[in-house]
Amino acid sequence: MLLVPGGNRRMLEKAPGLDADVVILDLEDTVPVTDRSKAEARDAVVAALADGVWACRERAVRINGPHTDWFEADLEAVLGAGITTIVLPHTYGVEDVLQVETALAAQRPGAEIDLVLSVETPGLLLDLEEVGRRARCVRGLAVAPNDYCLETGSSALLTALVAGRPGVVVDEQISWLRLKVIAVAKARGWSAFDAVMVADPRDPEALRSALERSRGLGFDGTAVMHPSHVGLVNEVFSPTNTEIDWAKAVAARYEGLTGGGDQSDGVPVLRQHYEVACRTLALADAIGTAA
């Protein structure tokens, strides 16, 4: 998911040509907190959405949260522009999420609108199970490490900023945030998105290592702010040729079994292996890498 600042006209002009899976036009953190700036960004985003040819698979808009003065205008504008995926920041619990769903239903009765919740407050984190039981529009959860550290009063964000590393907080500070986001998302059949942090965004090896850890935890993808990162993110989160070849062999071998496992050649092929293989092949097929 590539975040494009809604107040940056040069970036908005480039947005239709960006080939990230999801391009998120942002009306929140990247836009100054004045009524004029928010209104100008909102108008610019609506104008950008009018361009009918986009390289990405999906377009989304991150609006301002329900406790801000700009929420209602943002919601009306992006729905009017035909957006069907909204990234929702700064909710403080399940009641905030349900309030937004009520607003969606009032403005677009019967429409299929998907919400991706940016999980950045302790209140929402604690309420995620309840959100999973009661919410109807949520389709994804996204980790927001900097805001979460800010909300919890962690000194990790201060330490990172003083050290000149604004993109990095201590992993231990957000480990529960990440793991709970994954657990709830997977339990509900939602997507789980990380926010990968590295000290120097120009260091490809550090970025690759962080992305590999993220994929290893179970995230489906990550949000990035640098268009140059899209290719590496896609590479890391896509099955490799070696993984695809392994998956094909395991699937064929398991489907030919008469029992519950195979110990031939000293290498067991169990049900879990088969399921991993099937998921790998399904993902490869979905993104067009399966031969």
Per-residue pLDDT, 74: 98
Residue type, 221: G
Owner of token pair 């709830």: 184
| pLDDT confidence tier of residue 267, bands split at 50, 70 and 90 | confident
Of 212, 237, 262, the last residue of a domain is 237
Averaged pLDDT score across all residues of the chain: 92
**Do 98 and 199 lie in a common domain?**
yes
Q: Poorest-confidence range of 131-135, 165-169, 236-240?
A: 165-169
Domain count of the fold of the chain: 2
**Do 42 and 73 lie in a common domain?**
yes
Residue 159 scores a pLDDT above 90: no
**Do 126 and 263 lie in a common domain?**
no
**Do 114 and 220 lie in a common domain?**
yes
**Do 268 and 173 lie in a common domain?**
no
Q: Cα 57 to chain center, whole Å?
A: 14
pLDDT in tens, 17-54: 998 999 999 999 999 999 999 999 999 999 999 987 89
State how far the Cα of 42 lies from the Cα of 21, in Å rounded to an integer: 22
pLDDT in tens, 239-251: 999 999 999 999 9
**Do 162 and 252 lie in a common domain?**
no
Of 218, 237, 256, the last residue of a domain is 237
**Do 118 and 97 lie in a common domain?**
yes
**Do 136 and 148 lie in a common domain?**
yes
Q: Residue 213: phi, psi to the nearest 5?
A: -65, -40
Domain span at residue 249? 241-287
Q: What is the CATH number of the domain that holds 154?
A: 3.20.20.60
Per-residue pLDDT, 260: 54
Element (H, E) at 62: strand 58-62
Between β-strands 22-26 and 191-195, what pairing exists: parallel, antiparallel or unpaired?
unpaired
pLDDT in tens, 82-138: 999 999 999 999 999 999 999 999 999 999 999 999 999 999 999 999 999 999 999
Measure CA of the first residue to CA of the last residue in the chain; give whole Å: 25
Per-residue pLDDT, 170: 62
**Do 78 and 184 lie in a common domain?**
yes
**Do 140 and 249 lie in a common domain?**
no
State how far the Cα of 52 lies from the Cα of 31, in Å rounded to an integer: 24
**Do 187 and 266 lie in a common domain?**
no
> What whole-number percentage of the chain has pLDDT above 70?
94
- For residues 264-279, give the mean pLDDT: 85
**Do 260 and 217 lie in a common domain?**
no
